[in-house]
Amino acid sequence: MKLDPSIRDAMLAATPNLRAFAISLARNVDRADDLVQETLLRALANIDSFQPGTNMSAWLFTILRNHFRSEYRKRRREVEDADGSYTASLTSQPDQTGKIEHEELRAALAKLPPDQCEALLLVGASGFSYEEAAQICGCAVGTVKSRVNRARNRLAELMSIESVDDFGPDRETQAVLSAASRR
Amino acid sequence: MQQQKAASHAESRMKSSAGSGRLGRDVQQKIGQQLRSMYDDVIKEGVPDRFTEMLRQLDSIDDGSNKGPRE
């Protein structure tokens, strides 16, 4: 297996983005880097199944996502984590990427169901289209859309992000809504 | 007329914001910005040596050890 330089370059080019996804999923830099390494090794071992000219990044994300899923399921069986205390302990580990300003966001992401979390990360942060995200997650485009939608709603709720649109219809909506809730 | 238009707009927004409906564009944008900023911190770190080193080593090992049937 002599590495084709263009393949190697494409892999390295995708690595920072892949790592950001892995850290957000695993919530621990060391574990995330292990995930990325395993992903690159698996990709190389299966390089014959990669179709040149197709999206290397999406292919790597698919491998990482599937690997993470099976690891996650294994760990869930091993570690009693019904209330999320294990993931909370991971989140609180200090590391250079766990900056205070993003802690609230990371904590909120940790509360999302895994399906919704990965969909939101792929579309909202990694920059994949709904179609690509659907391919990566092995589900229908409509499913990704609704997962992203639900994830955004839940995040907005958890982080109490409210509309800053003080003018126009939005204020009226809120007036109508609060009037309705008073009833 | 203007009011009516605004009211119907408000109504449709209210409908869509119920349950799992759609968020305002500004809220979506804020979430997107925060997600990307979280990512940017990691992306700025570039490719850790660990990975460039790993690919380099695999490449050089394969020179000698893997004379498979390919090609």
Q: What is the pLDDT of residues B17-70, one digit of tens each?
A: 434 456 788 888 889 999 999 999 999 999 999 999 998 888 876 554 444 444
Classify each residue of A136-166 as buried b or exposed e, where b means 16 or more C-beta atoms within 10 Å of its C-beta: bbeeeeebbeebbbbbbbbbbebbebebeee
> Which of B3, B47, B60 to mutate to probe the A interface, most A CBs <10 Å?
B47
* pLDDT value of residue A84: 56
A69, exposed or middle or buried, with CB in 10 Å at 0-12, 13-18, 19+? Answer: middle
CA distance B69 to B71: 6
The pLDDT assigned to B19 comes to: 42
List pLDDT tens digits, range B58-67.
Answer: 887 655 444 4
Interface contact A97-B32, CB threshold 8 A: no
Please give the pLDDT value at position A153: 93
What rounded mean pLDDT belongs to chain A? 83
Encode pLDDT of A165-178 as tens digits.
534 445 555 565 56
Interatomic CA distance for residues A118 and A49, integer angstroms: 24
| Nearest CB partner across the interface for B22, out of A124, A149, A164 | A149
pTM strictly above 0.95: no
**What per-residue confidence (pLDDT) applies to A180?**
62
- Which of A101, A125, A176 shows the shortest C-beta gap to B39? A125
pLDDT value at position A162? Answer: 72
Residue in A45, A53, A52, A64 with CA at minimum distance from that of residue A137: A64
Per-residue pLDDT band at A103 (split at 50, 70, 90):
confident
To test the contact with chain A by mutation, choose from B15, B22, B34 the residue with the greatest count of A C-beta atoms within 10 A, namely: B34
Q: Do B63 and A2 touch (CB under 8 A)?
A: yes
3-state secondary structure (DSSP) of residue B18? coil
Tokens describing residue B26: 């500004």
Q: Per-residue confidence at A183, pLDDT binned at 50, 70, 90? A: low
Give the model confidence (pLDDT) of A40-69 as tens digits. 999 999 999 998 888 999 999 999 999 999
Which one has a higher pLDDT value, A27 or A162? A27
Check residues A181 and A42 and name the one with the higher pLDDT: A42
| Burial class of residue A122 (count of CB atoms within 10 Å of its CB; 0-12, 13-18, 19+) | buried
- In terms of Cβ atoms closer than 10 Å to its own Cβ (0-12, 13-18, 19+), residue A107 is middle
